[in-house]
Amino acid sequence: MTERRWATGGRPYRLDLLERRLQRYGDVAIFSYTLLLTVEAEEGLRHRAVNESRVAVRFPEGWKVVHVHKSPAGG
């Protein structure tokens, strides 16, 4: 998937989800993963990784994300 967006300064990029995990507890689900952003730059490819988790709740009209957490990956 390569597109141009404002967040990457108009440069082509790719998004990958790594280490995906889904935990479901009745009407609540937790989806966690590492988001890897790869951007084409003049000096070559640049990578940035972010750990994310999303909490979703099932309502009568369907599933809705009610919380998102993001933090830098690695160290």
pLDDT in tens, 20-45: 999 999 999 999 999 999 998 888 99
Task: Mention the CATH class of domain 3-72.
Answer: alpha beta
pLDDT in tens, 1-23: 445 566 677 888 899 999 999 99
Alpha carbon distance 75, 56 (integer Å): 28
Alpha carbon distance 66, 40 (integer Å): 33
Structural domain boundaries in the chain: 3-72
User: What per-residue confidence (pLDDT) applies to 1?
Assistant: 45
User: What per-residue confidence (pLDDT) applies to 61?
Assistant: 97
pLDDT in tens, 44-62: 999 999 999 999 999 999 9
Specify the pTM: 0.77
